[in-house]
Chain A
Amino acid sequence: MAIIEVKNITKTYNEKQVPVHALNGIDLDIGAGEFTAIVGPSGCGKTTLLNIIGGLDKPTEGSITINGSNLDDLTEKQIIDFRLHHIGFVFQAYNLIPVLTALENVIFILQMQGRPHNECIATGKELLESVGLGDKINKRPSELSGGQQQRVAVARALASKPDYVLADEPTANLDSKSTSDLLDMMHQLNESVGTTFVFSTHDQRVVERAKRVVTLVDGKIESDTKQ
C-alpha cells in the first residue's frame, strides 16, 4: 500500500510575471519500505517534488496524501506538526544546529515531541552508535567531517521513527568513501527496520543502490523503474 500518493501535481513559480513550470502533472505512489531515487538533470524539479512531498512547499495544483492524510486539508501548524512526527529530512548541506552536539542534534526532534529526557538520550546514543558515531556524541558539527555530519543528520532524521525519510542530494558534498558508508548505512536501515527512503540525487552511486529510480525531465516523470 502506498504511504505517499502524489496526484497530478503541478508547480509554477512566478505565475504573474514569467511563469516557470517546475512540475507538470506528476503522479507518483511510494510504498512503505521503498528505497527510491528521484533523478534527473538540474532544474528538472527533483527538489521541488521533494519539498512538496515533505510539506515544505505547496503545489499549484494537485494533491498529496500521506498515510491517508491529504496535506491540503491541514493548516500550516498541523503540517509543521506532521513533519515533526512523520517525516525525517536529510539535506545536502547537513543542516545540523551548529550550537548543539551530535547527540543534542539527534535528540532535538525527540525533545520537541515531548519525549522523556532519559528516553531521548538512550535513543540518541543508540542511533549514533548505529551510524558509527558512538564515540562522537559530544562533538559539535564544526568538529566533525562532512561525512560524519551527514551521518548525524541521518540519525536525526530517523530519531522520531518517521514514516519516511526525504533526502535531498545527501551525498552531494561527500567524498567516495563517505558516500559509500552513508549508502551502506541507509540501505541497512531500509532492510532491517523497513524505513522508507526517498532521495533526490544526481549521484550515479546512489542510483545504483536504489531499488526504484524515478527519472524527471522538465517537470514530468520520464521513467519509473524498479531495480
Chain B
Amino acid sequence: MLYLKLAWRNIWRNKRRTLITMSSVVMAVLLSGVMSSMQQGQYDQMIDNSVGSFMGHIQIQAPGYHDEPILDHSLAVDSTLLRKLNENDEIEAVVPRIESFALAGGPKKTKAGMVIGTDINAEKFLSKPDRKIIDGEYFTSNNEHAVLIGQGLADYLDLSVGDSLVLISSGYHGVSAADLIPIKGIVKFGIQDLNNSITYLPIETAQSFYGAYGRLTDIAILARSPKDIGQIVNEISTDLDEQYKVYGWQELMPELVQAIQADRGSGYIILLVLYMIVGFGILGTVLMMTAERKYEFGVMLAIGTSRSRMAFMLILEMTTITVLGTIIGIVASLPFIFYFNINPMHFTGEAAAAIEEYGMEPFIRFSTDPELLLIQAGIILIISLLISIYPVIHSKKLNPVEAMRH
C-alpha cells in the first residue's frame, strides 16, 4: 500500500512528463489497433468475397476434382451425408452444387460463362443470389426450367428478363449439353468477374442439362465461425471414407492465402516502425525521469530503502502509466473501429477500379474482432514494461553517495 501510494503520487508529481508518456502509449495502441482492425477487415473481406460469399469455407469434393475440375470427377448425392452435415451445429449452411462452364449465347453474341447449379434454398445462405436480383425474380423450385444471369453478362449478350439464354457445353462423361432457358432474373455482384460471367440454375435443372443426374461437383459448406474451419475439416474428414475429399478454403485458394500473408508482412513492418517510434518516445521520458530523480533515489537508498523495494516502486509507477495508457488507447480506438465497421470506408474512381481488379468489392469494413485490439494493446504494454526495466536496472546499480552528489 505504501509503495502504491508513493508510485501514484510520483506519477502525478510531474504531470506533463506522465501525460507525454501516457500519450505515447495511447497513440501507439490507437494507431496499431485501428491499423490492425483495418487490415484484418480487408482480409476478412477478401476471404468473404472469395470464400464466405461464394465458394464456401469448406468444400467436399470427389477425389481428383480439385486438380482437374471436370464433371467426370463429380460425386453422387448422398442424402445421409447432407443431413448429417446440416445437423452439425458448427455449420451454418450446406450447399450442394454442380459447377461447370458453358458457352452462353444471346441474339448476336456468345461468351464463356460459369454455370452454378445449386440448391435454391441453401444458396440463399451462401452467395445469396435472391438478394442480388436487380430485375425479375428468384427460383421457386429446384427443377424449375429457368436461369438467373449476371448483369454484366446480360448486358454483353443484350438479354433481359423474359428472354431466353442459350447454353452449350459438354456434360457428364462427354454427353453434349445444350438448352434454351428462360431468364427469370438478373443478378448483380459487386465483384466484376462474377458479374460478367455467372449464371445460376436450380440444381436439378443443371443436373439434367449436364446429364449428371444425381451428381454434384462439390458440397460447399459455410461455417458459423470462420475460425473453426480447421476443426470442422478434421471432424468431417474423419467421418468420411475415401470417395470424398474435404478442403478448407486455404487449400482451395492458396493464392488468397499468399496474398494475405504478403500483405500482412508489409503490415508487420509498418507496425514494427510504429513500435520503434513509440518505444523510443517512452524510453526518452523514462530516461529523463531517471536522471531527474537520481538524487531522490540516492536519498531513499541512504535512509534504508532496499534496492528491490525501490525497483518495485518504479515498476509500479511505469506499470500504472502504461496500463492506464493502454486502457485509454483501447477505449479511444473503439469509436474509430466501430464507426468504420458500421460505415465502411468506400473507394471511388481509380482506387475502386484497382480493388475490383483483384475481385474485391471497393470498400473496407473494419474488423471488430476484440482479439486484434487486445493483441496490439498487449504488445504495446510489453514494450512499455520492457522499457521500464531501465530505471530498475539503473536503481540496482546506483551508488547512493554518487547519486546524492548529482
Contacts and interface: CB of A to CB of B under 8 A. Distances in A.
B128 interface: no
Contacts of A87: 304
Given A91-B404, A97-B296, A99-B6, A54 B13 contact: no
Contacts of B302: 54, 56, 83, 89, 91, 95
B395 to A, nearest CB: 12
Interface in A46-64: 51, 54, 56-57
B300 interface: yes
A97 B6 contact: yes
Interface in A62-98: 77, 80-81, 83-85, 87, 89, 91, 95, 97-98
Contacts of A95: 296, 299, 302-303, 404
Interface in B1-55: 2, 6, 9-10, 13
Contact of B400 (A56, A77, A84, A98): A56
Nearest to B301: A80
Q: Chain A, interface size: which category? A: 20 to 34
Interface in B271-319: 296, 299-307, 309
Contact of A100 (B9, B304, B305, B309): B9
A81 B303 contact: no
A125 interface: no
B307 to A, nearest CB: 7
B401 A83 contact: no
Interface residues of B, number: 19
B304 A81 contact: yes
A111 B306 contact: no
A84 B9 contact: no
B9 A80 contact: no
A85 B306 contact: no
A112 interface: yes
A77 B304 contact: no
Residue in B300, B304, B309, B400 whose Cβ sees the most chain A Cβ within 10 Å? B304
A54 B404 CA distance: 14
A57 B2 contact: no
B401 A99 contact: no
B401 A51 contact: yes
A109 interface: yes
Contacts of A77: 306-307
A109 B304 contact: yes
A81 B308 CA distance: 12
A19 B10 CA distance: 40
Contact of B304 (A57, A97, A112): A112
Contacts of B303: 83-84, 89, 95, 108-109, 156
Contacts of A89: 302-303
Contacts of A80: 301, 304-307
Nearest to A82: B304
B6 A112 contact: no
B209 to A, nearest CB: 83
B300 A84 contact: no
Contacts of B401: 51, 56-57
A35 B88 CA distance: 89
Nearest to A47: B401
A61 to B, nearest CB: 18
A84 B304 contact: yes
Contacts of B6: 97, 99-100
A209 to B, nearest CB: 25
Contacts of B304: 80-81, 83-85, 87, 109, 112
Contacts of B309: 112
Interface in B303-360: 303-307, 309
A160 B172 CA distance: 97
B306 A97 contact: no
A98 B296 CA distance: 9
B2 A111 contact: yes
Interface of B: 2, 6, 9-10, 13, 296, 299-307, 309, 400-401, 404
12 contacts: A56-B400, A77-B306, A80-B301, A80-B307, A81-B306, A83-B302, A84-B306, A85-B304, A87-B304, A89-B303, A91-B404, A97-B6
Interface of A: 51, 54, 56-57, 77, 80-81, 83-85, 87, 89, 91, 95, 97-100, 108-109, 111-112, 156
Q: Which 6 pairs, one residue from A and one from B, show the smallest C-beta to C-beta distance?
A: A84-B304, A99-B9, A95-B299, A83-B304, A111-B2, A57-B401
